[in-house]
Each structure stands twice: as structure tokens, then as C-alpha cells.
Chain A
Amino acid sequence: MVIRGGGSLVRYQPAFSNDGKLLLVCKSALVTVYSTDTSLPVRHLSGHKDAVTVVIVVPPHITKDVSVNRCYTASMDGTVRFWNFSTDGPALKVYKVGHPIEYMVMPSLLRPLKENDVKTEEEEKTEEKGKNEELIAYVSIYYLIEGQQVRAEAVDGTKATDVFGGRVKVFDLRSQRFLNGTLVKTTTPQPLAVSSAGSFVGMTWSRKVYVWRVPPTHTDHVKCITLTTLNHTKVCKVVTFDPSERVVSAGDHTGRILCWQSVGERRLDQIPKVKGGNPVQRGPKHNASGVRGNDDAASCTTYHWHSNAVRALCFSVDGTYLFSGGSEGTLVIWQPETGKQQYRPRLGGPLVYITQSPDPALFAISCLDNTIKFINLGTSQVEKVFQGIKTFTPLPASLEWISNTRVILEPGEEKLAFPTDNMGLQFYDGVRDWHTAEVQIAPRTYVGVDFKNDETECGPSTFVTHVAFSCDGSTMATVDICLPEEEIGGTASLKIWDRHASLLKYTLSTIVNDPHGADITSLVYHPTKNLFVTCSLDATFKIWVQSSDFSAEGETATGWMCRSLGSYRRKQILAAAFSPDGTVLAVAAEELVTLWNPFTNGFLTSLVALPFPQKIKHLAFVHETKYLVATSTGKKPRMTVWHLPSLSIRWSSPVYVEALAVDPRNPVFAVIALTGRPTSETTEEGYENPVNRKSVVAVFDPEDPTPISAWSLKEGIGGSLLFSSTDLNQDREEGDLSDETAGKRNSCLVVVTGSREYVMLNPFDKKKEGELSKPKAKGSEAGARRSGRAKKVAEKAENRASVYQALYGNAAAPRVREASDVVGMLAPKPWGDLLNAPSHVLPPLTKISYAFLESLLKRREDTDETGMRPEP
């Protein structure tokens, strides 16, 4: 059994059911139907093989009944499906379009039925409703450009990738074929907009707004569709129509909103006045009409409030208000007649879609922090929140040595904990795929995306970089940082939180401002004790313990303090790991691995260096075995396994490891490895750019460089791995326990991709391989193509092991160090007990000094005699 979840709720626009009780959200290859009352998922419409991009609910005047729930969905897998979303089950109908659909509008659904179109019920029964009606979809598709392949190959040098261009075409669902001709060609497909009565279809591309007038009946060529083009000087981002279909509104990337009145009236004077036929109210008087060039519009009004691009535009039902949103996270409510605005600020993230619900006061706002919020415009309150896994911006390249926590398992309730962009920590139920709780790690006001001099967006400057839990989950340690601005400021703070019994509530117990002098690279909790380690680029690692030495004015407060500080040859400390029993602390000092006793602070030994010294990024002990895994990055990345009793390298292979996880129940570890050209071929440049490479999830036995199993993974960059104890085999029958997996204790591998989708699977479940090999629900994101690839990886790994042996032979076991080799922490004092007395008992310094100096001199003679005697 494989559990998939996560993913973006706001990548595409959601849709309401006609009665407003359900919300349909495109979530990768699924359409999840949420109940608007409980804001919990009700059912999933599964069937598409790739991301669903559009959901169109059949409007009530076609279904004749508000409670009849039908919808069309379009997907990147090139199909359009027709569903009944009142019930679980497969699609009622599948239309094959053949091209990945980025966007689709169906103006014919919105057309009001003509008087003579109303059929008797008998007619409906005999022939499916609207059989005579044409079912036309305007689709914005990815169109394969064949001629481009060769060029791509020449540039990339890698396998030829398909080059797609965007096309807007018209698809007849009845006959399942495209109308001849193309409406417009673009380099990337753009979203379409349709007017409320289905008379116009609009699209923005570059500095143009295209408006197509939908003909009453379509011929078999798109020539029947008339086009009006509106020009603007800035890149337009979004277009919408007002309900009276007389105003076209577009938002551009500088934050201006343009409203063109009476578009296309000159050429399309035969527009039927559909909505009551009211003459359109003109906006504020404009001296020059504002219309550019020879555009076919009566006038153009510009509104400007947004400082950044307008991303969402929507008219109210009666057309008196225009809602706009952008990266400021503020919903602006315009009154186009007067140009006045109102605001609903601080919605938590950039707005991407504004969706009108059947209730005129209620809007669904899709925010880029992966939430859909219901806003009641009457009260201006957020009424409901649909919460996916919140987003997290990757750390900037300047912090490449910080191996930040991307996801961590909360040990108490086995929830996944994700650091979020708004300085929070989100707890997510992986099995049920829903949000559980959120803790604000540091106070932060969302201030929108900031633009510096050029138009490059500055990413956020505050991050939660590390999270660690104590073994029982009662304590949590977090590190949050603030990047400096032009080398001013830049702070880090270490916070330790106490958990309330039985609830996912944490209270702050201690704040340590700037625990290290430089960036903190990792934070590791002790597996059994209440103790953790922070590593830093200032060449030190610190061990923190709980202390009750903070009594203030009568009451005793427990806090945390740094117990000891270690450093090794002034090398940057990049990673640390505790052995499973907690007696050994492994610390990576740049390219060296050192072993320490975490309780006595004793330095034990340092391990044999890697054949090609590279800075180590991840470090982990493999459970129940005496192996230590380290992965290093840089030009020649390696993954190395040490055998600790012999302090020798067991095996090592040149793979770039993005994430490393060890199973706390079985002696295996898993990695996300980025594949690409093997290093043996390109020894010089190695892996110059890890981006755009395919990645593989592989599970290893530490004794064997051949992975036990492997799956390919898209979006491996920024991905993460976890082992949780969730039992995925609950549905398995009793008899099955006798198979080979029964020997392994239950352990479930959670693979989280860079875009925060996750798959939970059993890494030892050989039986289910077949099922995994098929890209099941969310093929696009985590399409698992087990078959050939795993073998290839295995072969590669084997080859590398042999290369290692060819180069170095079997590594000779180094001398096993005795316990006596361990350097004690306290050097003997040559002056003995001379100064071991309270100061008032001590004789005056003038007296002591002779004895003190004598003792020093004496000792010096001793060493001369024993150790450094010159040879005759």
C-alpha cells in the first residue's frame, strides 16, 4: 500500500459546486472534493494520470437542479473527463484531447438556453440532455514542436527533451476532435478567461490581450471566431470580464489594472444584450479615451494600487465591484465606477486566484502559502481555511553548507513537521493527508514580495532552518535565522520548546540569541537523553543540556545552557550524528569525521579520510550495525560507509546525495541521489550543476553498495526522506506475514519531494513493486519507474565499488585504537596541590611563586630526560 499526499492546492483554480457546499480543488492528479462546512476532504476524483489543471462545474441552468453535481476536468495527461462528484467512482466520460491541457474554458456551458431549446423531459430522457447543443471547449495546450528536438540536443548534450509551445485551440467534445486552425500561438500556454454568459473568451500574452467572440455555432474551422486584440505597454498577467460582458479588465506586471469598455463593439456590433440589456455605466471621464492605437474599445481606464504584478482579478456578481490581488497578500476591492478602493490586508501570502462562490458575499482566495481561504466580504473575516502543506523557499545559495531540516517526524504522534515560509512549523498528518497544527517559531508579519533595483524578486530573509525533537517528543529545539542586509544584522536564534502533555502545543522555554558566531549547519538531538548538539561554521560544536540553574527571585526556572564546546583543528563543523545508543557522537569537521564521547567530551578518534577529500554534508549511524554513512558534496561528491570497529572505509561510491535517512528499526539507510553522468566519464568537471538532474530514491544495506531497492523521483532537489513506523500493511491478510518481509520490522519510508508532495511506501515490500512501477495517481510528481532504473543504479554502484578496489585494493584495517589512546581532558598540573586551597589559607603569593616556578622547571627537566633526550 502506498500513501500519497501533500502537493499544492493553489496551483490551479478551485471551483465551487452549484449549491456551494462542496469545493473542488485540483491537487496534482486528483480532484479533491472538500466540504465547505468542515473544510475536510470528502472524496477524491481519481483517474487522471497527470496533474489536473481545470475543473469546470456544470452550471445549474444545464443540470436543471442545483444539487446535481457534474463537472468537467482537464489534465496534463491530455484528457478531459466528465464526473459526477456526488459519488465516488470513475469518470462518466473520457475525452481524449491528445495534448497536455494547461487551461480550458467551456463557453457553451455558460450560454443561457434559448426559449426553443428548452426541451420536454421526455426528450431529455431519450437523448441525453443538450445533445443538440454543441459542447465546445477552448483549450490552451502544450503543443509538441518536433523540429526543435535537434537543437535542444545540440545545446544540452543530454537526452533530447521535447520542446513544447503553447497553442490555443478549440476542441469539440462531441466529435472529440479539434476544429481546424489555431487561435493563437505562444511559447508557453496561458490561462484563458471566459465571460459569465459565455460570449467571450480572453487571454493575455505578453503585452496583448486577446478577446475572442464566441460564435453561436461553431463551424469546423476557427475562422468563425472573431478576434479583438487590445494592446498595452506592459506585460499583462491576467484578464477577466465583467458580468455584463462590456468591460474587459486586465492586470499587468507593474500592478496596474486596465478596464476597456465596449470592447469589439465596432466590429461586433451585433452583440446580443444578454444580461437585462442595461447600458453599461462608463467609468470616470477620460479626456483621451486611453485606448491605445487602433484598438477596438470605447475607452480604457487604469487603476493603480498594487506595487507588484496583479495576479488575480475577479468581478462581483453584479459587476459593481472588482477584486484584485497580488503578491502583497492584500485583497483590494475596487469600485470601478468611482475608482475607490477598500482593502482586506494580510491574507498570509500572495493571492493567485479569487473564486466567487454561489453565495455572493463569499469568496475563495487561493494564497501561495498553499491555503484556500474563504472571505466573507460583509464582515471582511476569514471564515474558513483549507490548508495544504505550507511552502518553504529553499535557502539561498550563500547558505549551501546549512543542511536545513526540510521535514522531520514528530516522535510523539508521528506527524510530519514542516518548517514553513512564515516562520512556523506545520504539523501534518501524513496518513490522513491533512493539516493538524501549526507552531509559530518566530513572530513574522507577512510583508509581501519585495523588489530590489532590478526586477528580480528577493526571496524571504527569515527562515526556520533546523528542527529537532527529543526522543519522546517532549522537547523541541529549533533554529531560525534572519539573513543580513548588506552585511548588517543577520541573527540566528536557538529556541527550545516544551510540549504540553498529549497535545501538539509547544511553549517556549528558552531562547538563545546568536548561539554561535557563524551560521549553524546542523542540529542533532541525542537519541535517549535530553541533550542536543549544534554545529556551526565558526569551527565549533556545542552541546546543550537542560539546567535548573536559572532560579530567579524565589522561583526555580529550568532552562537550557551550553554545557561544552568542541572544535577540531579549527575546521568548520558541518554535520553531526549520535550513534543509536547515544554513546558516540560523530562530528564532521569539513572532510574529516571525528568521534567523541558526548558525556565526557573526550575526543575518541578521527576516521580515515575519504579518498578525495570533500566537505561532508550528511552523517548518520546505521541502526543495529557498526556502520557510519557520510555523504559529501562538492565537485566530486561521494557517499561513504565506514566500518567503525576497524575504522576503515567499507565502501564508497561517487553519488551526489541530496538527502539521507537511516531507518531506526532496520539496519538500512535510504538516500535521494541525483543521477547524471557518472564521474568516471567526466572526472574533471564532475557534477557542475545538480539542478535539472533526475533523482533516485535508493535503499541500501550498509554492507552492500548495491541498493536493495530504488525508485526514480521527479523533483528530487530539495527533497527529503524519513522513516516512520506507520503500518502501511494493515490491509494485508494474516497469511502474508510469512513472506520475506516479515523478518523486517515495520518501517515506512516517507519520500518528500522538493514541492512538498510525499509518498509513504514500504521499502521492503517486494510484492508491491509491480504496483509501484506504474505511475499511479500522481505520476507527474513522483512517477515511479522502478523497472530498468533500479537495475541500472545497481550496476553503476557495483562498478564503482570495483573502481575503488582497483585503485586502492582492499583497505588495510588500521590499528584498532585502545581505550588508553583516548586523550584525557585534564592534563596533570605540574604544581600539584600547591594552589588547591582557599585563598585565605594560601600563603602570600611572594612565597608561593618560588615553589610554583620550581615545580614548572622541575617538570620540564623530567620531560627532557624521558622524551626528548638528544641522541649522543
Chain B
Amino acid sequence: MLYAARRSLKGRKSGAQGWDFSTMAVIGTDYVPVRPKLYPKSRDTLTVDAKFWKSFRSQKTEQQIASVTNIHFCPSPPHDFAVTSSTRLTIYDGKTREVKKVISRFSDVAYSGAYRGDGQLIVAGGETGLIQVFDSSSRTLLRQLRGHKGAVHWVRYSLHDKLHVLSAGDDNSVRWWDVASQTQVFKMDQHTDYVRCGAASPSSEYTWATGSYDHTVRLWDVRAAKCILQLKHDKPLEDVLFFPSGGMIAAAGGNAVNMYDIVGGGRLLYSIANHQKTVTKLRFTTPTISGVPSPRLLSASLDGHVRMFELEKFKLTHASKYNSGAILSMDISPACLTLVVGMSNGSLSVRDRRKSLEEQETMAPALPSLTGVQESTELLGMEPPKPQPKKLNPNNYRYFLRGRNEKASESDYFYAREKKINLTRYDVFFRKFRYRDALTAALRTSEAKVIVAVMEELVARQGLVRAMTDLDNQSLVTLISFLGRQAMFPKYARLLIPVTLKVMDMYEHSFKSVPQVKKPLAWLKDRVAEEVRLLIVLQTLQGTLEPLRHTATLS
């Protein structure tokens, strides 16, 4: 009765590494196995967003002839994508991400290859000012729209009918075309510089926006053929994008992305200046992140980053870096499965999260198929087959094991067998007071937590130095490479740095005779040098910050 407390002790979230004292007869009278310490869980630095965006894994990087000027996903499945680069328009298969077709009917550099809403036609501009319409499946040239006097960098089909195209050219004009008759319906000349981007409003059939190098975004009404709104920006516009609601416009110019409220008369609502260099492309996507549909604004920039912003406060939620250079074009598939990014040096990066999706699915049990079987048998009017209990005879090994896994029923008296403590190898050596063997056994696990726990137990028994003397060559090599790996880790540094020093002192003279130790020793030396460098850098930083902080607190 006096030992009421002894069974109460269970470590927090005990599990495998907590302490379980329930098997102790009387406190202090039994061997307590050495278990790794509980360390604070390292905070998961990945936000849900970061996790989501990191699940896009690099599938392939293709090299195009010249810089990739435009990427456009086909709105209809399987969401092929058209990549415009140099004098070519390459169509990649949406499933296999392999080249499907190449359209090379351009006499000069092609620009802005884009699908029609149904994915059957592709329209593309070009350096010559000629706009061409191709059949996406047969590659046949269907129509040619002539009229622009400069290069056409942007041309798009109307979202709502399949008949019209709006194009923007370097001759400062925006033209509205009737494709079937290959005629220009009208031309709008209000822009005073190159017009390089535009967008169709998702809510209104007749409203379009174009952005120009004259630092303005203009909204057009194609019914009246006139400018209905002018939005001012600080920099030449590189991309314009309607919000899915159609009430706001995001316009990228320079390194700033401005959000305008066009319903409220073109008021500037937000400005994001998160990129170091000019933002080249903007895209909206609405992935389902951890079960919640979360609309995101993606911006690609010449600084090689694609950044993802949420749409409430326009906070940065994630950024992914593309090392190969300035990003000129970017698009994401409508189902938010594939992110394609084109660089100025012609490389095309395809990132895909299909594989990670598959992995998740394989992790989950394949339930649907099972239920499917059951349903089908039920449909046939049969009961699902019950596994017949096999009659056991002495020919079967299980015959001799029968009844062993019998569960006690509720009315039975239950005598629990005393829980056996599973002793690890180093525990066995600890029980025999063979400290060196315990340390060697721990080193063999190569788990830092375990080794540190064993070392701490040795310190508590005042036996670490004894355990470290006269180690055999193999253990010495393991110990030194362990120290090289872990000694600078802040969690263990307080224990391991003095251990390192002690080992150096103890084996100073025997290192020469052990050739294997040379490599880990050099590695350890490098790590120390690296750490010292880091410390110097940090101290420099502290030195710069300290006067600032001091002036701030003084005044």
C-alpha cells in the first residue's frame, strides 16, 4: 500500500521513448533501461502551403532552342500545354509530358501560342505581326490574320465565343478580329507604347484588359470599341490578370504587382513588391490545400522565383526557386497538378504532383475495390463468402499453437504476465558494468539520440572517460565520425564538444598508428573550421546590429 505512486509514473506521451515504470517492483530496486531523452519536437517549419507546393516534384527539364516566351495549358483534358519558343510552338502531352506535336510554321519568332476555350484551335502571334490559327490536333494552318505593323506579343481567343480574337501589338494597337472571315473588326489606338499583355474578363463577355509599356492598363469594351477605364502603374506592364470574380485586376509591372478594384473605379487596393526583379507572369489557381480550396496568386519573375500569395491579405505563402535563370513564362494546369515554367535561357521546367498524389493513395488502403467486390456479389443475390474455419489436425503446425491467442472474456479472472523490459545491447552491457562495451554497442546503432543518452548515463555513473579509453580502432573511427556529424549540433553540443576535446587529448598519439581514422578526423576538422567561420560571421552580424540596437534603446 505504501507504494501507491510507483505505478503512476508514465512519461509524457510515453510511447517508445517515454519512461515506463509500471514494471518496477519497488522504486530503485530494478534496472532502469537507458532510453533517449525527450527533446522538444522540432517545429515543423513547413506550412501546409509549403507542403503542398513542395509536393510538386521536378519531372523533367527540357531545353528549348531559345527563351520560352509563353506557356499555355489547354483548358480541356488531358490538359496538353503549348510552349512557344523561338520559331516553334511545341505541344506537350498533358499526361506523359512528352512532346506531342511541333508547329513550326513561323517565319520569325513566334509569340503567345494559346488554346481556344475548347482546346481545338491554337492562336499564335509573332515577330512579323502575323497572327496564325492552327488546328491543335492536325497542326494545319487554318487562318492568318494580317494587319499589325509590329510584333504581336499577345493574342487570345475570346473566352465566351469561339469566333473572335483580341491581339496586342508593338504598333501600340489593340485589334479585335473575326477569325472566320479573317477580318479585323476594329482597332484601338489609345496605348502609346508597346502593348505586351492582356486578359479577358471572366465575368463579362465584352470586357478585356490590356497592359502596355506606357505604364497603363486599359479596359476595353469590344461592343463599343472604346476604352472604358485606364489604370495607372509605375512601370511598364508585363502581365495583366483578372481575378476569378472579374471585379479586380492584378497587374504586374517592374517588380510590383498591383491589385486594382475595377468595380470601384480602378482604385489601387494592394501592391506587392516581393520580387527582386521584374515580374513576368501572373496566374491564378485554386488548389485544395489540406481539404480547403485556397485560391492563390502565382507570380513569376526574372529573379528566378515563383511566389504564391493568398488572396486575402496578399501574404506570401510560399516561394519556389528555379536555379536555371530568369523566368519568362509560367502556367499551371487547371486542376493544379502541373506547374510549367519557362526560362530565358530556353530551359523548360515541368513540376508535377501526380506522383506524390499516387503515393498518398497507395498509403491509404484500397478500400473502394473491396467494397466493389462486395457490392457485386450482393447484386447477384449471394451472401459474401465467409471464410470457413479450417479444421486443424496434427499435420498442421498451427494445431500445436491453437488457443494461444485466445482473448480473455470479460467474466474471466485475468492475471497479467509481468511485462518484460526489452533490453537493448547496451543495456545488457550496462547491467554488467561493461561501460566500454555499452558505448561501443551504442555507437553501433548510429542513432545520435541513443549515443547521447548512453553517454549521459555514463557521465551519471562517472564512467565515460573510462569507457572511452582503449577503444578498438573500429569503435574509435565510429566515435570520431559520430562526433564529426553531431558535435556541432546545438542540441548535443554541450555534451559532445567536451567529449571531442577529451577524445583528442586521449588519442593524440595513437591517431598516427590508425590509418582509418584519418578521413573522419579530417571531416571533423572541416566541420570545426566551418563552425568557427559561421561564428565569425554571426559575430560580425552582431557587431553591426549592436550599435543600431543601442541607439534605438538610448533614444
CB distance from B29 to the nearest CB of A (A): 4
Give the docked Cα–Cα distance between A507 and B7 (Å): 10
Give the docked Cα–Cα distance between A490 and B461 (Å): 11
Q: Which of A297-324 contact B (CB under 8 A)?
A: none
Does B289 have its Cβ within 8 Å of any Cβ on chain A?
A: no
Q: Which residues of B contact A484 (CB under 8 A)?
A: 459, 498
Interchain CB contact under 8 A, B26 and A382: yes
Interchain CB contact under 8 A, A437 and B27: no
Interchain CB contact under 8 A, A830 and B552: yes
Q: Which of A346, A422, A488 contacts B459 (CB 8 A)?
A: A488
Q: Which residues of B contact A131 (CB under 8 A)?
A: none
Interchain CB contact under 8 A, A349 and B28: yes
Does B37 have its Cβ within 8 Å of any Cβ on chain A?
A: yes
Q: Which residues of B contact A400 (CB under 8 A)?
A: none
Does B391 have its Cβ within 8 Å of any Cβ on chain A?
A: no
Q: Which of B12, B29, B502, B551 contacts A509 (CB 8 A)?
A: B12
Interchain CB contact under 8 A, B5 and A482: no
Interchain CB contact under 8 A, A447 and B38: no
CB distance from B243 to the nearest CB of A (A): 17
Q: Which of A387, A486, A487, A838 contacts B313 (CB 8 A)?
A: A838
Q: Which of B120-137 contact A (CB under 8 A)?
A: none
Q: Which residues of B contact A860 (CB under 8 A)?
A: 555
Q: Which of A701-727 contact B (CB under 8 A)?
A: none
Interchain CB contact under 8 A, A827 and B552: yes
Does B274 have its Cβ within 8 Å of any Cβ on chain A?
A: yes
Interchain CB contact under 8 A, B28 and A424: yes
Give the docked Cα–Cα distance between A487 and B313 (Å): 53
Q: Which residues of A contact B26 (CB under 8 A)?
A: 348, 373, 382, 385
Flag the segment in B97-105, B265-273, B441-449 that touches A.
B265-273
Interchain CB contact under 8 A, A461 and B459: yes
Give 1 or 0 for each of B230-252: 1 = CB within 8 Å of chain A CB: 00000000000000000000000
Q: Which of B27, B274, B462, B552 contacts A485 (CB 8 A)?
A: B462
Q: Which of B287-326 contact A (CB under 8 A)?
A: 313-316
CB distance from B442 to the nearest CB of A (A): 14
Q: Which residues of B contact A482 (CB under 8 A)?
A: 456, 459-460
- Known contacts A511-B12, A827-B553; A504 and B459 CB within 8 A of each other: no
Q: Which of B9, B28, B459 contacts A439 (CB 8 A)?
A: B9
Q: Which residues of A contact B552 (CB under 8 A)?
A: 827, 829-830
Residue of B nearest to A484 (CB): B459
Does B25 have its Cβ within 8 Å of any Cβ on chain A?
A: yes
Interchain CB contact under 8 A, B27 and A440: yes
Interchain CB contact under 8 A, A347 and B551: no
Does A617 have its Cβ within 8 Å of any Cβ on chain B?
A: no
Give 1 or 0 for each of B482-502: 1 = CB within 8 Å of chain A CB: 000000000000110011001
Q: Which residues of A contact B460 (CB under 8 A)?
A: 444, 461-462, 482
- Known contacts A488-B465, A504-B4, A552-B41; A348 and B459 CB within 8 A of each other: no
Interchain CB contact under 8 A, A505 and B270: no
Give the docked Cα–Cα distance between A822 and B25 (Å): 57
Q: Which residues of B contact A485 (CB under 8 A)?
A: 458-459, 462-465
Interchain CB contact under 8 A, B8 and A507: yes
Give the docked Cα–Cα distance between A382 and B31 (Å): 15
Interchain CB contact under 8 A, A490 and B459: yes
Q: Which residues of B contact A439 (CB under 8 A)?
A: 5, 8-9
Does A114 have its Cβ within 8 Å of any Cβ on chain B?
A: no
Does A184 have its Cβ within 8 Å of any Cβ on chain B?
A: no
Give the docked Cα–Cα distance between A335 and B127 (Å): 106
Total count of chain A residues near the partner, CB < 8 A: 66
Q: Which of B66-112 contact A (CB under 8 A)?
A: none
Q: Is the interface of B mostly helix, strand, loop or mixed?
A: loop
Q: Which of B5, B41, B274 contacts A840 (CB 8 A)?
A: B274
Which of B11, B27, B313, B552 has the most CB atoms of chain A within a 10 A radius of its CB? B27
- Known contacts A444-B28, A482-B456; A435 and B21 CB within 8 A of each other: no
Residue of B nearest to A505 (CB): B8
Give the docked Cα–Cα distance between A627 and B495 (Å): 44
Does A292 have its Cβ within 8 Å of any Cβ on chain B?
A: no
Q: Which residues of B contact A39 (CB under 8 A)?
A: 2
Does B3 have its Cβ within 8 Å of any Cβ on chain A?
A: yes
Residue of B nearest to A827 (CB): B553
Interchain CB contact under 8 A, A346 and B465: no
Q: Which residues of A contact B8 (CB under 8 A)?
A: 439, 500, 503, 505-507
Give the docked Cα–Cα distance between A859 and B41 (Å): 45
Does B359 have its Cβ within 8 Å of any Cβ on chain A?
A: no
- Known contacts A489-B464, A490-B459; A447 and B433 CB within 8 A of each other: yes
Q: Which of B23-55 contact A (CB under 8 A)?
A: 25-32, 35, 37-39, 41
Give the docked Cα–Cα distance between A552 and B15 (Å): 15
Interchain CB contact under 8 A, A438 and B10: no
Does B177 have its Cβ within 8 Å of any Cβ on chain A?
A: no
Q: Which residues of B contact A348 (CB under 8 A)?
A: 26-29
Interchain CB contact under 8 A, B2 and A436: yes
Does A513 have its Cβ within 8 Å of any Cβ on chain B?
A: yes
Give the docked Cα–Cα distance between A838 and B458 (Å): 52
Give the docked Cα–Cα distance between A504 and B35 (Å): 26
Interchain CB contact under 8 A, A346 and B31: yes
Does A254 have its Cβ within 8 Å of any Cβ on chain B?
A: no
Interchain CB contact under 8 A, B494 and A514: yes
Interchain CB contact under 8 A, A489 and B455: yes
Give the docked Cα–Cα distance between A129 and B502 (Å): 73
Interchain CB contact under 8 A, B461 and A488: no
Interchain CB contact under 8 A, B4 and A503: yes
Q: Which residues of A contact B30 (CB under 8 A)?
A: 346, 445
Give the docked Cα–Cα distance between A424 and B26 (Å): 12
Give the docked Cα–Cα distance between A811 and B314 (Å): 65
Residue of B nearest to A346 (CB): B29
Give 1 or 0 for each of A428-469: 1 = CB within 8 Å of chain B CB: 000000111111100111110010100000100110000000
Residue of B nearest to A844 (CB): B273
Q: Which of A446, A509, A830 contacts B555 (CB 8 A)?
A: A830
Q: Which residues of A contact B9 (CB under 8 A)?
A: 439-440, 506-508
Give the docked Cα–Cα distance between A39 and B10 (Å): 27
Q: Which of B2, B32, B37 contacts A435 (CB 8 A)?
A: B2
CB distance from B96 to the nearest CB of A (A): 37
Interchain CB contact under 8 A, A369 and B28: yes
Give the docked Cα–Cα distance between A373 and B459 (Å): 30
Does B430 have its Cβ within 8 Å of any Cβ on chain A?
A: yes
Give the docked Cα–Cα distance between A489 and B457 (Å): 10
Q: Which residues of B contact A812 (CB under 8 A)?
A: none
Q: Which of B2, B38, B462, B465 contacts A387 (CB 8 A)?
A: B2
Does B6 have its Cβ within 8 Å of any Cβ on chain A?
A: yes
CB distance from A34 to the nearest CB of B (A): 12
CB distance from A388 to the nearest CB of B (A): 11
Which of B430, B456, B459 has the most CB atoms of chain A within a 10 A radius of its CB? B459
Which of A438, A490, A509 has the most CB atoms of chain B within a 10 A radius of its CB? A438
Does B157 have its Cβ within 8 Å of any Cβ on chain A?
A: no
Give 1 or 0 for each of A467-504: 1 = CB within 8 Å of chain B CB: 00000000000000010111111110000000010011
Q: Which residues of B contact A552 (CB under 8 A)?
A: 41
Kindly list the 7 A-B residue pairs having the minimum CB-CB distance in the complex, ordered from nearest: A489-B459, A505-B8, A437-B5, A422-B28, A443-B32, A348-B28, A488-B498
Which A residues have a C-beta under 8 Å from some C-beta of B? 39, 346-349, 369, 373, 381-382, 385, 387, 422, 424, 427, 434-440, 443-447, 450, 452, 458, 461-462, 482, 484-491, 500, 503-511, 513-514, 552, 827-830, 838-841, 844, 856, 859-860, 863
User: 16 more A-B contacts (CB under 8 A) besides A347-B29, A840-B270?
Assistant: A39-B2, A422-B28, A424-B27, A435-B2, A436-B2, A439-B8, A443-B32, A447-B433, A485-B465, A489-B498, A491-B495, A504-B5, A505-B4, A507-B9, A507-B12, A513-B39
In the assembled complex, 27 residue pairs joining A and B whose CB atoms fall closer than 8 Å, in A order, are A347-B29, A348-B26, A348-B27, A381-B25, A385-B3, A385-B26, A435-B2, A438-B6, A439-B8, A447-B461, A450-B461, A452-B462, A462-B460, A482-B459, A486-B465, A488-B459, A488-B498, A488-B499, A489-B495, A491-B459, A504-B4, A504-B5, A505-B5, A506-B9, A513-B39, A830-B552, A840-B316
